[in-house]
């Protein structure tokens, strides 16, 4: 099988030097939006992209959020534009494996974090000011919703009139969005040790008053807990959240079109001593009416002195017929993995999990290093032992972390693209992978 990973053919820094010399002596114009190409240092995997300088740490965070989408035969992303200190829409040129700046501004605030939803017609981007688990949410820091229209002829996005709209006036550690079958947009985040939700009321520009999720165990959380929202089955919206005080991850469901106060009984996705941490990434198959939902989470067993074989990363699967959840180990404490994200291959019914881990050893869970990948069939979930296949690695600065991708299903047409960031070198990196990569 052809290798799913493609390295750049130029030496580290060689292209940059040649480009600068050409510009200085008038022989080479500056290519618009072109980032420094990937390095070819021994051991590198993936492609180096634009600078993240000015955007703070974890430029590709946070854990439940998605920064990429597929549309019109191309991969797109919301990335930081260092020159203007704003966030822009970028397009991946697959022939050069470079992220091209389209010039379309999303959020003009540095150090904000976004979650992206492409619904086939409109592009939605939620953008929030980050609040750390130690400082907590602060008012006067609005989370915004942006909406863009796409022009096929010019291959450009234009912000729609009336946007941005305000979702909440508070900063938050994370904030995610999705749209239900009636066209209502939903958002969730944690604030004041509670799970909050908000939704649109009649138009995408009109949001109601944020409210605490009206279900059991959605309050009295740890200050470190987070939540995420997902539309599933074509009939419902779901919210998953961690509750480290209860050592559990929960899931609540709302039937599309029902009153805001009407939610189904809270389901326990996973529970047990130290079974919860603030790492959640949840996805649902877009064209699957059965109601299957999958999530990857990190346990807290590493912080509790668990054995090396104790499960650290878990795959959670919702049974469409009963609504109950099952759990399957993806990685163990000895693998030192963290910050998992999930991709769903609807064509081949395969689960892909991407995680951070050092190449060897385990200084502590959460240590930066390389982005690894594992896969499993959806019908019989089982992941191989070990750290997985390395897919993004900066050999000279092993500080990769916070991998992100799309909410959408992937197919042979789209392939898979994941993006991570290196806080040490302040650069984005990405990998483009074939389906079926082992």
Kindly state the DSSP code that residue 184 receives in the 8-state scheme.
-
Average pLDDT rounded to a whole number, residues 367-378 = 97
Cα dihedral: 331, 334, 340, 344 (round 10): -20
Report how far residue 378's alpha carbon sits from residue 44's, in angstroms, rounded to the nearest whole number. 31
Q: How far apart are the first and last CA of the chain?
A: 10
Q: Which of 73-77, 124-128, 283-287, 340-344 has the lowest mean pLDDT?
A: 283-287
> How confident is the model at residue 29, as a pLDDT?
33
Q: Distances in Å between the alpha carbon of 345 and those of 153, 210, 435? A: 29, 34, 8
Average pLDDT rounded to a whole number, residues 109-117 = 97
Report how far residue 171's alpha carbon sits from residue 355's, in angstroms, rounded to the nearest whole number. 26
pLDDT tens, position by position, 309-322 = 999 999 999 999 99
pTM above 0.85, yes or no: yes
Report how far residue 63's alpha carbon sits from residue 90's, in angstroms, rounded to the nearest whole number. 21
User: Is 16:34 a contact under the CB 8 Å cutoff?
Assistant: no
Indicate whether 35 pLDDT > 90. Answer: no
Average pLDDT rounded to a whole number, residues 1-5 = 39
Calculate what percentage of the chain has a pLDDT beyond 70: 90
Indicate whether 37 pLDDT > 50. Answer: no
pLDDT tens, position by position, 116-157 = 999 999 999 999 999 976 677 889 999 999 999 999 999 999
Residue 89 tokens, joined:
């829409």
pLDDT bracket for residue 40 (50, 70, 90): low
> How confident is the model at residue 243, as a pLDDT?
97
pLDDT bracket for residue 16 (50, 70, 90): very low
CA-based nearest residue to 124, from 186, 60, 56: 186
pLDDT tens, position by position, 218-265 = 999 999 999 999 999 999 999 999 999 999 999 999 999 999 999 998
pLDDT tens, position by position, 383-397 = 999 999 999 999 999
> How confident is the model at residue 304, as a pLDDT?
80
pLDDT tens, position by position, 189-227 = 999 999 999 999 999 999 999 999 999 999 999 999 999
> How confident is the model at residue 438, as a pLDDT?
53
45-82 in b/e burial notation, b at 16+ Cβ within 10 A? bbbbbbbbebbbebbbbbbbbbbbbbbeeebbbbbbbe
Q: What is the residue extent of each domain of the chain?
A: 50-433
Report how far residue 432's alpha carbon sits from residue 411's, in angstroms, rounded to the nearest whole number. 13
> How confident is the model at residue 437, as a pLDDT?
61
Mean pLDDT over each residue of the chain, to the nearest integer: 90
Class of the CATH-defined domain 50-433? mainly beta
**Contacts with 2 (C-beta within 8 Å, 6 or more apart), sequence order:** 434
Report how far residue 87's alpha carbon sits from residue 113's, in angstroms, rounded to the nearest whole number. 9
């Amino acid at each position: 099988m052809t290798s799913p990973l493609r390295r750049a053919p130029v030496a580290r820094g060689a292209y940059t030097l040649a480009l600068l010399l050409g510009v200085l002596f008038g022989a080479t114009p500056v290519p618009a939006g072109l980032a420094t190409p990937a390095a070819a240092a021994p051991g590198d995997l993936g492609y180096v992209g634009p600078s993240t300088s000015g955007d703070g740490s974890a430029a590709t965070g946070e854990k439940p959020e998605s920064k990429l989408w597929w549309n019109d035969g191309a991969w797109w992303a919301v990335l930081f534009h260092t020159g203007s200190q704003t966030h822009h829409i970028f397009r991946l040129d697959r022939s050069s494996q470079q992220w091209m700046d389209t010039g379309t501004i999303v959020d003009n605030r540095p150090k904000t974090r976004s979650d992206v939803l492409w619904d086939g017609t409109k592009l939605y981007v939620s953008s929030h000011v980050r609040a750390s688990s130690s400082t907590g949410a602060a008012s006067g820091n609005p989370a915004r919703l942006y909406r863009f229209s796409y022009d096929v002829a010019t291959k450009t996005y234009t912000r729609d009139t009336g946007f941005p709209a305000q979702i909440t006036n508070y900063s938050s550690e994370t904030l995610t969005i999705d749209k239900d079958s009636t066209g209502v947009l939903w958002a969730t985040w944690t604030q004041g040790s509670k799970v909050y939700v908000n939704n649109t009321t009649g138009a995408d520009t009109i949001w109601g008053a944020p409210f605490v999720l009206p279900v059991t165990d959605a309050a009295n959380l740890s200050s470190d807990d987070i939540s995420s929202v997902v539309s599933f089955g074509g009939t419902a919206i779901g919210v998953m959240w961690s509750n480290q005080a209860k050592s559990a991850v929960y899931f609540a469901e709302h039937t599309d079109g029902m009153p805001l106060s009407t939610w189904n009984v809270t389901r326990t996705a996973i529970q047990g001593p130290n079974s919860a941490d603030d790492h959640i990434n949840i996805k649902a198959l877009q064209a699957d009416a059965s109601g299957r939902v999958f999530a990857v989470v990190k346990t807290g067993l590493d912080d509790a002195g668990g054995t090396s074989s104790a499960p650290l990363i878990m795959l959670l699967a919702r049974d469409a017929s009963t609504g109950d959840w099952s759990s399957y180990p993806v990685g163990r404490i000895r693998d030192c993995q963290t910050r998992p994200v999930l991709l769903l291959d609807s064509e081949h019914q395969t689960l892909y999990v991407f995680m951070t881990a050092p190449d060897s050893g385990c200084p502590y869970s959460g240590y930066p290093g390389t982005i690894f990948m594992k896969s499993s069939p959806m019908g019989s979930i089982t992941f191989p032992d070990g750290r997985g296949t390395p897919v993004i690695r900066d050999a000279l600065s092993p500080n990769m972390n916070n991998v992100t991708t799309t909410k959408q299903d992937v197919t042979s047409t789209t392939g898979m693209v994941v993006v991570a960031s290196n806080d040490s070198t302040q650069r984005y990196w990405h990998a483009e992978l074939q389906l079926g990569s082992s």
